[in-house]
């Protein structure tokens, strides 16, 4: 029992290819052995059945002949040989055990038969018949009593099976050899099939082991065959593609964030050195240094807050409180507060249609402020910023238009990438910022099922619109 437990445990913890090979071999050899055993038993049964049929047929014909002999005394008793099937031997024994009719005197004697009777013949053997085994033969015997003139005799019918027995012995040996060859073929075929089936998985394992963060170029070859393993290979390759994109973005994000944080840190460090050397003696230098440090600290704080916002959004941890809101109230509030703070530009509100939207109040307000901050940032002093909110067919189009430096066509989709900033070298306008505002606005829009449209022309201005679905 312990031996089988050890074998079972070893198979359980073996490789999948080994399990497939063993399972395939066991199923195949079990089917082969079962087929061979059933075939051998079927042939063997046919052998016994044929002997029984010839004996029963001979007995029936003999019984009919004996009835005729009783009715017609002129019939010759020796005619009892006539109804016997070829190969059947008949011996008629009287009450004293003497044989007085024998169709084959050279056949084995009754005593020899009695000594070789099989005590446990096959279960399908007729219970009224006996079977004796000799060196290369089986002999069937069936008995029938007949009473005539108050004298009872016993008719013993014999049927020899010789060549058939030899055939079945040879057949048994052949089937055993076939089973052994089948076992070898089953193991070989199972091993080959398992290796072929699991080859894509082995390739995946090797590819995964070779992949590093610095190099994710490895991919699994995809075959034209449309099967489950091929689908797995495609899924694995798609996962690697997504990982590569994510890692590339992360590396760029870390690099850009480090670069953006380095600038204010360097400025603060420089002005701190100036303060340490001359700040206490020169009031002008002291004031300039304090203002610069304060400004850079604010910029750094804004950058860190934006980075934290994007980090939470990437991890799906940015909270959103969705509720029914009146968009016109938010637009009106942001418009008035912006106009009170910004005096270098003319800010107008053209239309502000009423509309109920399902949204998070804080982030919707943040998205609108990002649009306005960008418009102000990239529009020279004295320029005009226009807000327009118009309802149409179950949607409301909230637009912010400026008269600023504009965006080149090839760069209009890039402005939504993190840390990307429009090149203002063709303009005298000084532009500062982190390049994260529109990335945040894009995420907010995606969470609210809002479409963002951008139209821009160099030196003429930019219009950015949010198409917002309404509730009523």
Q: Give the end of a domain, one of 154, 186, 218.
A: 186
Same domain, 160 and 277: no
**302 and 349 together in one domain:** no
- Residue 200 in domain: no
pLDDT at 398: 96
- Does 198 reside within a domain? no
Q: Are residues 390 and 304 in the same domain?
A: no
Give percent of the chain with pLDDT exceeding 90.
Answer: 21
Residue 462 lies in a domain: yes
In a domain, residue 217? The reply is no
Q: For 305-337, how does the pLDDT look when each residue is reduced to its tens digit (9 = 90+)?
A: 777 777 777 767 778 889 999 999 999 999 999
Per the CB < 8 A criterion, the answer to whether 427 and 380 are in contact is: yes
C-beta pairs of 440-445 under 8 Å, 24+ apart in sequence? 440/306, 440/309, 440/310, 440/313, 440/366, 440/367, 440/370, 441/366, 441/367, 441/370, 441/371, 441/416, 442/416, 443/310, 443/313, 443/318, 444/363, 444/364, 444/366, 444/367, 445/367
User: Last residue of a domain, which of 287, 314, 341?
Assistant: 314
- pLDDT, one tens digit per residue, over 44-76 is 666 667 778 888 888 888 888 887 777 765 545
Range of the domain at 274: 228-314
Query: Same structural domain for residues 162 and 283?
Result: no
Same domain, 36 and 174: yes
Instruction: Classify residue 209: in a domain, yes or no.
Output: no
Quick one: 262 and 136 in the same domain? no
Domain CATH code at residue 408: 3.30.565.10
Within this chain, do residues 264 and 122 fall inside the same structural domain, yes or no?
no
Residue 392 lies in a domain: yes
Query: What would the pLDDT profile of 424-452 be if each residue is shown by its tens digit?
Result: 554 445 455 567 788 888 989 999 999 99
Mean pLDDT of the chain, nearest integer: 79
What does pTM read for this prediction? 0.49
- Do 137 and 106 fall into the same domain? yes
Does a structural domain hold residue 347?
yes
Q: Is residue 281 part of a domain?
A: yes
Whether 38 and 127 map to the same domain: the answer is: yes
User: What's the per-residue H, E or C state across the chain?
Assistant: CHHHHHHHHHHHCCCHHHHHHHHHHHHHHHHHHHHHHHHHHHHHHHHHHHHHHHHHHHHHHHHHHHHHHHHCCCCCHHHHHCCCCCCEEEEEECCCCCEEEECCCCCCCHHHHHHCECCCCCCCCCCCEEEEEECCEEEEEEEEEEEECCEEEEEEEEEEECHHHHHHHHHHHHHHHHHHHHHHHHHHHHHHHHHHHCHHHHHHHHHHHHCECCECCCCCCCCCCCCHHHHHHHHHHHHHHHHHHHHHHHHHHHHHHHHHHHHHHHHHHHHHHHHHHHHCCCHHHHHHHHHHHHHHHHHHHHHHHHHHHHHHHHCCCCCCCEEEEEHHHHHHHHHHHHHHHCCCCEEEEEEECCCEEEEEHHHHHHHHHHHHHHHHHCCCCCCEEEEEEEEECCEEEEEEEECCCCCCHHHCCHHHCCCCCCCCCCCCCCCCCCCCHHHHHHHHHHHCCCEEEEEEECCCEEEEEEEEECCC
Mean pLDDT of 351-376: 92
Is residue 375's pLDDT more than 90?
yes
State the residue for tokens 């034209």.
224
Tally the domains of the chain. Answer: 3
Same domain, 88 and 145: yes
> Do residue 20 and residue 110 come from a single domain?
yes
Per-residue pLDDT, 75: 46
The CATH number covering residue 253 comes to 1.10.287.130
- The answer to whether residues 135 and 9 belong to one domain is yes
Most confident range (mean pLDDT) of 8-17, 192-201, 458-467 is: 458-467
Last residue of one domain, picked from the residues 281, 314, 347:
314
């Amino acid at each position: 029992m312990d031996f089988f437990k050890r074998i079972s445990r070893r198979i359980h913890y073996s490789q999948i290819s080994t399990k497939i090979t063993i399972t395939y071999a066991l199923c195949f050899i079990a089917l082969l052995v079962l087929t061979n055993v059933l075939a051998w038993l079927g042939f063997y049964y046919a052998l016994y059945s044929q002997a029984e049929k010839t004996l029963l047929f001979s007995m029936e014909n003999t019984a009919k002949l004996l009835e005729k002999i009783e009715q017609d005394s002129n019939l010759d008793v020796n005619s009892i040989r006539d109804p016997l099937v070829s190969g059947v031997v008949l011996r008629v024994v009287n009450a004293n055990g003497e044989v007085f009719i024998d169709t084959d005197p050279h056949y084995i004697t009754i005593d020899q038969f009695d000594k070789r009777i099989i005590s446990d013949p096959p279960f399908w053997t007729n219970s009224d018949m006996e079977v004796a085994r000799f060196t290369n033969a089986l002999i069937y015997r069936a008995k029938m009593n007949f009473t005539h003139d108050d004298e009872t005799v016993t008719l013993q019918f014999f049927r020899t099976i010789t060549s058939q027995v030899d055939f079945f012995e040879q057949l048994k040996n052949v089937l055993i050899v076939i089973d052994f060859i089948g076992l070898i073929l089953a193991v070989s075929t199972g091993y080959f099939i398992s290796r072929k089936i699991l080859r894509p998985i082995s390739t995946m394992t090797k590819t995964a082991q070779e992949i590093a963060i610095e190099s994710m170029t490895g991919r699994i070859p995809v075959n034209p065959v449309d099967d489950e393993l091929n689908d797995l290979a495609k899924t694995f390759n798609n996962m690697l593609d997504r990982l590569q994109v994510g890692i590339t973005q992360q590396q760029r994000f870390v690099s850009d964030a480090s670069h953006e944080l380095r600038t204010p840190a360097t400025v603060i460090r420089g002005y701190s050195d100036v303060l340490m050397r001359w700040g206490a003696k020169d009031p002008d230098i002291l004031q300039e240094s304090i203002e610069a440090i304060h400004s850079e600290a604010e910029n750094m704080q804004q950058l860190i807050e934006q980075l934290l916002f994007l980090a939470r959004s990437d991890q799906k941890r940015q909270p959103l409180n969705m509720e029914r809101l009146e968009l016109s109230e938010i637009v009106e509030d942001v418009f008035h507060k912006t106009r009170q703070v910004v005096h270098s530009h003319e800010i107008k509100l053209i239309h502000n249609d009423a509309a109920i939207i399902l949204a998070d109040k804080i982030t919707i307000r943040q998205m609108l402020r990002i649009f306005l901050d960008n418009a102000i940032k990239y529009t020279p002093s004295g320029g005009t910023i226009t807000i327009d909110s118009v309802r149409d067919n179950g949607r409301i189009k909230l637009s912010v238009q400026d008269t600023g430096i504009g965006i080149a066509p090839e760069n209009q989709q890039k402005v939504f990438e993190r840390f990307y900033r429009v090149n203002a070298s063709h303009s005298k306008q000084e532009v500062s910022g982190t390049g994260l505002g529109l990335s945040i606005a894009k995420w907010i829009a995606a969470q609210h099922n809002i479409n963002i449209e951008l139209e821009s022309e160099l030196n003429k201005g930019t219009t950015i619109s949010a198409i917002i679905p309404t509730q009523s």
